[in-house]
């Protein structure tokens, strides 16, 4: 049979999705290939069809132990002999299954990466493996957003397989840097990447609003729709779930602190539409294939744009219009910054985490089309989407370069050693004791924004921080520092714009106190 015929007879589909054919062709020519497709793009078929055409066994390495059974059941239902071995099975069951694989009774064997790294490797290495599919391959890269140490050993283990199988790596999230890393580690030279653009998703950023209020209003308006709300912590998931249930919304929850049975139960309630909305930490969602999710709302800022796009991308897998909403709060970013700071990572890895977090801030504050911003981040280009909150924002964009330069020079003159409140006071010309005691009233930037309130200046500083011109460094009492982008503004190499509703300013410089 040809791949096309198998697609029809085994899976019931008429045509390949973009990229699928190219990956299958490469595998059948025994060429190692990296497959980058968005969530829901149809990555699984890329190795499942070759698995049926190859003589030997296809080993699928997947970190999603909880989902292996479902994936294998789905294949078996299509008449495809597949099985899995993982820590949920006892020793004799595992042996039975491996014997089946040895005898050629199954075409696909799903395993977790840990299994390759354990004493059980010898058993696997003895199998007639023709193809290894490395799912969620970004987990192998320290530059990725979900690095898993257990994936690192893959590089060596795959080399030790006596059958020298073809390797296909699959992921939905790979920046050019992560893609390079995956290819180097797994000895891959080819890449099939399909467009990341999601024509049915409307991205929205909602800034500095009361999130509870927003969620309640949103659910009221979308009461009959299925959606996911991501919150930052288990505690927050529980609080939100209670809040929404009290208002009689059909809500369930998912986080790492629930028992496996509870998790499974709640997940199924959501999958089978017994509960409309899933409130979850980011532990929820990898590998979940629910097609009619109409909205994904992030009530917490994810640590990276990759993570955000992957989670947001769980909306609208059926191709119907859906929304991806980020409720952005600068304080969230600062808390995360603090946690990175306190973590026991090395300096380089901390720096890398800061940069990824900073990118989320820039996403939330860019005036560019949001879909375009994301595409550019993944090394792609595309037209304006016409659907995101920026494309639909009709407010005037104001040039605030001069005001920005004033703020930045003040930060500079205060030697980048103070926080927002004091900088705003100095710019506003405050006579606060702290200002005078430090002698800041002698600075040339003292009072140069006296026609604005301290509150407006503080908001401007927040905006400049979120947009990446300033960095609020440190935990509880962050100190403002000028970023490279900010330095370019000071040198007059970069302009700054901001969409703002026109607010009244005082017409004459007056004393702020």
In the bound state with ligand ADP, the residue whose beta carbon lies nearer, of 137 and 158, is: 137
Residue 310 within binding range of ligand ADP, rule CB under 6 A: no
* Burial status of residue 244 (CB atoms within 10 A of its CB: 0-12, 13-18, 19 or more): buried
Tell me the closest approach of the beta carbon of residue 370 to ligand ADP, in angstroms: 22
**Number of residues lying near ligand ADP (CB under 6 A):** 13
In the bound state with ligand ADP, the residue whose beta carbon lies nearer, of 20 and 430, is: 20
Residues 4-33 that bind ligand ADP (CB under 6 A): 13, 16-17, 20
Q: Which residue from 312, 354, 310 is spatially nearest to 334, judged by alpha carbons?
A: 354
Query: 43, 193, 198, 454: which one contacts ligand ADP (CB under 6 A)?
Result: 43
Query: 22, 27, 36, 45: which one contacts ligand ADP (CB under 6 A)?
Result: 45
Beta-bridged to residue 481, according to DSSP, are 471
In the bound state with ligand ADP, the residue whose beta carbon lies nearer, of 227 and 285, is: 285
In the bound state with ligand ADP, the residue whose beta carbon lies nearer, of 230 and 249, is: 230
Residue 313 within binding range of ligand ADP, rule CB under 6 A: no
In the bound state with ligand ADP, the residue whose beta carbon lies nearer, of 23 and 124, is: 23
Residue appearing with tokens 């939905």: 172
Q: Is 146 helix (H, G, I), strand (E, B) or coil?
A: coil
Residue appearing with tokens 């062709």: 25
Tell me the closest approach of the beta carbon of residue 301 to ligand ADP, in angstroms: 24
Question: Helix (H) and strand (E) counts for the chain?
Answer: 22, 17
Residue 289 within binding range of ligand ADP, rule CB under 6 A: yes
In the bound state with ligand ADP, the residue whose beta carbon lies nearer, of 20 and 175, is: 20
H-type helices in 397-453, by residue range? Answer: 401-413, 420-428, 433-437
Phi, psi torsion values for 275, nearest 5 degrees: -125, 135
Question: What is the Cα–Cα distance from 458 to 283, expressed in whole angstroms?
Answer: 35
Query: 42, 227, 478, 486: which one contacts ligand ADP (CB under 6 A)?
Result: 42
Residue 44 within binding range of ligand ADP, rule CB under 6 A: yes
Please count the other Cβ atoms lying within 10 Å of the Cβ belonging to residue 344. Answer: 5
Tell me the closest approach of the beta carbon of residue 43 to ligand ADP, in angstroms: 3
Tell me the closest approach of the beta carbon of residue 70 to ligand ADP, in angstroms: 11
Q: Please name the helix (run of DSSP H) or strand (run of DSSP E) that holds residue 491, with its range, or none.
A: none
Tell me the closest approach of the beta carbon of residue 14 to ligand ADP, in angstroms: 7
Residue 309 within binding range of ligand ADP, rule CB under 6 A: no
Tell me the closest approach of the beta carbon of residue 8 to ligand ADP, in angstroms: 10
Tell me the closest approach of the beta carbon of residue 468 to ligand ADP, in angstroms: 31
The structure tokens listed for 425 are 């006071």
In the bound state with ligand ADP, the residue whose beta carbon lies nearer, of 44 and 304, is: 44
Query: 37, 161, 305, 364: which one contacts ligand ADP (CB under 6 A)?
Result: 37
Residue 41 within binding range of ligand ADP, rule CB under 6 A: yes
Residue 183 within binding range of ligand ADP, rule CB under 6 A: no
Phi, psi torsion values for 340, nearest 5 degrees: -65, -45
Contact yes or no for 194/19 (Cβ under 8 A) = yes
> Going by C-beta distance under 8 Å and a sequence separation of 6 or more, which residues neighbour residue 115?
85, 86, 121, 124
Q: Is 104 helix (H, G, I), strand (E, B) or coil?
A: coil
Contact yes or no for 305/196 (Cβ under 8 A) = no
Question: What is the Cα–Cα distance from 55 to 167, expressed in whole angstroms?
Answer: 15
Beta strands in 177-313 (DSSP E): 190-193, 201-207, 226-230, 251-254, 277-280, 293-298
In the bound state with ligand ADP, the residue whose beta carbon lies nearer, of 289 and 380, is: 289
In the bound state with ligand ADP, the residue whose beta carbon lies nearer, of 37 and 400, is: 37
In the bound state with ligand ADP, the residue whose beta carbon lies nearer, of 3 and 302, is: 3
Residue 270 within binding range of ligand ADP, rule CB under 6 A: no
The structure tokens listed for 402 are 């001069």
Question: What is the Cα–Cα distance from 162 to 123, expressed in whole angstroms?
Answer: 12
Mode of pairing for the β-strands spanning 82-85 and 108-111: parallel
In the bound state with ligand ADP, the residue whose beta carbon lies nearer, of 133 and 470, is: 133
Tell me the closest approach of the beta carbon of residue 449 to ligand ADP, in angstroms: 50
Residue 40 within binding range of ligand ADP, rule CB under 6 A: yes
Provide the binding-site residues for ligand ADP, judged by CB under 6 A: 13, 16-17, 20, 37, 39-45, 289
């Amino acid at each position: 049979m040809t791949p096309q015929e198998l697609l029809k007879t085994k899976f019931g589909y008429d045509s390949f999705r973009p990229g699928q054919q190219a990956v299958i062709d490469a595998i059948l020519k025994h060429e190692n290939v990296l497959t980058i497709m968005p969530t829901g793009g149809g990555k699984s078929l890329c190795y499942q069809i070759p698995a049926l055409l190859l003589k030997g066994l296809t080993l699928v390495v997947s970190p999603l132990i909880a989902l292996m059974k479902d994936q294998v059941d789905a294949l078996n239902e299509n008449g495809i002999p597949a099985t899995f071995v993982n820590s949920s099975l006892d020793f004799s069951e595992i042996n039975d299954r491996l014997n089946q694989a040895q005898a050629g009774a199954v075409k696909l064997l799903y395993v977790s990466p840990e299994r390759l790294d354990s004493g059980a490797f010898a058993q696997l290495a003895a199998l007639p493996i023709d193809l290894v599919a490395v799912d969620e391959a970004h987990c192998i890269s320290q530059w990725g957003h979900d690095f898993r140490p257990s994936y690192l050993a893959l590089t060596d283990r795959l080399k030790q397989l006596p059958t020298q199988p073809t390797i296909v790596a699959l992921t939905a999230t790979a920046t050019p840097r992560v893609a390079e890393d995956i290819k180097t580690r797994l000895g891959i030279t080819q890449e099939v990447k399909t467009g990341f653009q999601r024509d049915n998703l409307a991205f929205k950023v909602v800034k500095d609003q009361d999130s509870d209020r927003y969620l309640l209003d949103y659910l009221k308006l979308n009461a009959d729709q299925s959606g996911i709300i991501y919150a930052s912590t288990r505690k927050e998931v529980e609080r939100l779930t209670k809040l929404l249930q009290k208002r009689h919304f059909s809500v369930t929850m998912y986080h790492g602190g629930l028992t496996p049975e509870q998790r499974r139960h709640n997940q199924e309630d959501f999958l089978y539409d017994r509960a409309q909305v899933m409130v979850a930490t980011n532990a929820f969602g990898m590998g979940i294939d629910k097609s009619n999710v109409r909205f994904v709302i992030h009530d917490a800022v994810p640590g990276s744009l990759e993570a955000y796009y992957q989670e947001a991308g769980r909306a609208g897998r059926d191709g119907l219009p859906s929304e991806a909403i980020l409720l952005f709060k600068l304080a969230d970013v600062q808390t995360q910054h603090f946690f990175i700071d306190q973590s026991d990572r090395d300096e380089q890895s901390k720096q890398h985490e800061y940069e990824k977090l900073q990118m989320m801030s820039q996403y939330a504050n860019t005036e560019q089309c949001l879909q375009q911003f994301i595409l550019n981040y993944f090394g792609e280009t595309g037209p304006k989407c016409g659907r995101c909150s920026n494309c639909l924002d009709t407010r005037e964009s104001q040039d605030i370069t001069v005001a920005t330069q004033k703020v930045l020079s003040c930060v500079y003159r205060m030697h980048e050693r103070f926080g927002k409140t004091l900088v705003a006071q100095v710019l506003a010309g405050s006579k606060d004791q702290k200002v005078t005691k430090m002698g800041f009233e002698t600075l040339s930037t003292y009072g140069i924004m006296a026609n604005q309130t301290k509150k407006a200046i503080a908001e401007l500083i927040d905006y400049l921080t979120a947009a990446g011109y300033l960095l609020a460094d440190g935990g509880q009492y962050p100190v403002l520092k000028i970023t490279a982008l900010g330095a370019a503004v000071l040198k007059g190499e970069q302009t700054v714009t901001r969409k703002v509703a026109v607010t009244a300013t005082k017409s004459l410089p007056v004393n702020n106190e």
